[in-house]
Amino acid sequence: MTSRVVVLLSGSGTLLQALLDAAAEPGAPFEIVAVGSERSDAYGLTRALEAGVATFVLPMMADRDEWDGKLAETVANYRPDLVVSAGFMKLVGPAFLEKFGGRFINSHPALLPSFPGTHAVRDALAAGVKTTGATVFMVDEGVDTGRILVQQEVDVLPGDDEVTLHERIKVVERTMLVGQVSELVKEKHD
């Protein structure tokens, strides 16, 4: 039995593409049943549509709690076993976590707890670290504070800038995220 996965994203969807490719493999333990974003221009939505996956857009609202409740309700309509934040640049709130806590994972381009937040790669470079990396974690109510599931180091090379370093981190992130989704859904069915 394959598990149902909903992916949330805000941008180009390279992490989503890795998940779509893995889900298309024979015997994959999961399927992507929907992809959602707060931005109608997120290219990841196009990737999903091209793969035949349902999409939804829920723009941010003035009342953040109302948005959070609508997001939880919208995602719940797809009956996911797991929800994946794949470059989703919005924090969810209590209504979403109440419904999907313990079933909502995220990836982050740093070795948490170091460099949380939206500028992790820039912050790592500014700090002068020789090694950074990627983390996949269970989302909780904090900013990048959830239980760490897996991490992998990425060396900072001489001459690295934010773009070159982030691209190398994304390669690791994609592999880790696919691996964790596969592991978590297999555990659910064991």
- The residue whose two tokens read 């064991």 is 190
Summarised one tens digit per residue, pLDDT across range 168-184 is 999 999 999 999 999 99
Return the pLDDT at 111. Answer: 98
Catalytic (active site) residue 119: no
Q: 120-127 and 162-189 are packed helices; what angle lies between their axes, rounded to 10 degrees?
A: 120
Q: Which residues of the chain have pLDDT under 50?
A: none
Summarised one tens digit per residue, pLDDT across range 51-85 is 999 999 999 999 999 999 999 999 999 999 999 99
Please tell me which residue in 108, 119, 166, 189 is annotated as part of the active site.
108
Return the pLDDT at 189. Answer: 64
